[in-house]
Amino acid sequence: MENQNCNSYLNQLWDLASGRLARHKRSRLEAHLESCKTCQLEESDVKFLSAGLRSLPRRTPPPMLAVRLAVAASREHSRRRLRNSVAKWLHEAMVRARMTFDNLLKPLAIPATGGLLASFLCFFVIIDALHIDYYPGMDAPQGYYTEVVLDYLSPFDAHPAKEGRDMLVQLTVDDQGSVRDVTPQGNVSAAEMLEIGNLVLYSSFRPATRFGHPVTGKILVNIQHCRVKG
In the chain, where the domains are located: 2-52, 71-130, 145-223
DSSP 29-47: HHHHHHH-HHHHHHHHHHH
Distance CA 33, CA 25 (A): 12
How confident is the model over 27-44, as a mean pLDDT?
A: 84
Pairwise pLDDT comparison (70 vs 192), residue with the higher score: 70
**What ranges in 19-166 are assigned the alpha helix state H?**
23-35, 37-55, 63-83, 86-130
pLDDT in tens, 135-172: 555 555 555 778 888 877 776 665 544 455 677 888 88
- Return the minimum-mean-pLDDT range out of 1-15, 70-84, 86-100, 173-187: 1-15
In this prediction, residue 1 has a pLDDT band, given cuts at 50, 70 and 90, of very low
pLDDT averaged over the chain? 76
Compute the half-sphere exposure of residue 11: CA atoms within 13 Å on the CB side of its CA.
Answer: 5
User: What per-residue confidence (pLDDT) applies to 160?
Assistant: 47
How confident is the model over 47-59, as a mean pLDDT?
A: 81
Instruction: Check pLDDT > 60 for residue 4.
Output: no
Instruction: Check pLDDT > 80 for residue 31.
Output: yes
Specify whether the CB–CB gap between 179 and 200 falls below 8 A: yes
β partners of residue 172: 181, 218
Sign (positive/negative) of CA torsion 41, 44, 48, 49? positive
User: What per-residue confidence (pLDDT) applies to 132?
Assistant: 57
Distance CA 221, CA 171 (A): 7
User: Which of 28, 55, 56, 29 has the alpha carbon at shortest distance from 42?
Assistant: 29
User: What per-residue confidence (pLDDT) applies to 81?
Assistant: 74
What global pTM score does this model have?
Answer: 0.35
How confident is the model over 99-119, as a mean pLDDT?
A: 75
Instruction: Check pLDDT > 60 for residue 77.
Output: yes
Instruction: Check pLDDT > 80 for residue 83.
Output: no
Distance CA 15, CA 33 (A): 15
Matching CATH number, 145-223, of 2.40.160, 3.90.1690, 3.30.2420, 1.10.260:
3.30.2420
User: What per-residue confidence (pLDDT) applies to 137?
Assistant: 53
